[in-house]
Amino acid sequence: MLPLYPLKFKTIYKDKIWGGHKIETYLHKDFGSLPNCGETWEISGVKSDVSVVANGELEGESLAELLEKFQHQLVGQKVYDHFGNIFPLLVKFIDANDDLSIQVHPNDELAKKRHNSFGKTEMWYVIEADPGSTLITGFNQPVNEQIYLDRFNSGHLMDILNREQVNAGDVFFLPAGRVHTIGKGLLIAEIQQTSDITYRIYDFDRVDDKGNKRELHTEEALAAIDYKFYPEYKTKYQSEKNETVKLVKCPYFTTNLLDFTENTSKNYAGLDSFVIHVCIEGEYIIESDNKQYPVKMGECILLPKTIDSIELKTTTGFKILESYIE
């Protein structure tokens, strides 16, 4: 059996009604003849869009095939015991040239019952933000289902939603159940559970090129929404140069920020999990097993569990989102 090594995957490009061109102009990723690109799926185990290896001896094999072949060697024993042949995380870049729909995702229990799927807890790291950009996450006051419905049915839903001013470097953690949307002008890296279940609550009455409005999921959303009011929705962290800074830790993933101007090494021997790097700035070279793997902004790389230590070498500096399951 071929040995595992740092794996890159072919990007999956998604045309969206609200998509733009920053995937190409900012991240330098070519989405070809698509009119726009709202999302790229960088590492995906979603059945309809399973990632395919783009580098090395395993090029052309799907992530699903790798899991069947390598099992715990790829993802770690604990992860494999829990998820089996389903890769547990989905990594995306999102370019919002217009506001996304107001939406919510179900938790594990509801998603299993309704869709035989995982729920969708996610996090956002804002890579780039146009001046004045905003997003919506949660409520701006205490509500319950009846208050929510009253505002929804009267056309005043936006009055009770929490809108945040956004800048590059901001982080938002969105547990399943939190009403949210990404606002116009934002380029975001998203780490989430492997799930493509979205309940669309409101879509600003937009129509597609055929004049059709997108489907809403008003009733389905009611049982999924977390109606609790939280005083703080933005994730607080202190960025430090040349240090590993924890951004999010939850049962589904841990994500750290590595903002480095110099070479460094990482030891993952004590971690019973795969590791994903999402390069959001600069570039670097991973040295593993006497081989080199260049990574630049807009690229993601999967480090199998069998890789215990790596060297990261850079001349430009880099920012990486480092994710794994604890």
Q: Which of 192, 222, 252 is the last residue of a domain?
A: 222
Q: Are residues 84 and 140 in the same domain?
A: yes
Q: What is the mean pLDDT of residues 265-292?
A: 97
pTM of the model: 0.96
Q: Residue 252 domain-assigned?
A: yes
For 295, the domain range is: 244-324
Q: Are residues 139 and 46 in the same domain?
A: yes
Q: Are residues 148 and 106 in the same domain?
A: yes
Q: What is the mean pLDDT of residues 149-162?
A: 96
Q: Is the pLDDT of residue 206 over 90?
A: no
Give dist(CA 181, CA 104) in Å, integer. 9
Q: What is the mean pLDDT of residues 53-70?
A: 97
Q: Residue 104 domain-assigned?
A: yes
Q: Is 114 a catalytic residue?
A: no
pLDDT the model gives residue 1: 65
Domain count of the fold of the chain: 2
Give dist(CA 248, CA 233) in Å, integer. 13
Q: Are residues 32 and 137 in the same domain?
A: yes
DSSP string covering 149-193: HHHHHTT-GGGGEEEEE--TT-EEEE-TT--EEEPTTEEEEEEEE
In which band, very low, low, confident or very high, does the pLDDT at 26 lie, cut at 50, 70 and 90? very high
* Catalytic option among 114, 151, 163, 200: 200
Q: Residue 143 domain-assigned?
A: yes
Q: Are residues 77 and 202 in the same domain?
A: yes
State percent of the chain over pLDDT 90. Answer: 95
Q: What CATH number should be reported for the domain holding residue 67?
A: 2.60.120.10
Per-residue pLDDT tens over the stretch 130-139: 999 999 999 9
Q: Residue 34 domain-assigned?
A: yes
Q: Residue 277 domain-assigned?
A: yes
Q: Are residues 276 and 134 in the same domain?
A: no
Q: Residue 218 domain-assigned?
A: yes
Contacts of 158 (CB under 8 A, 6+ apart): none
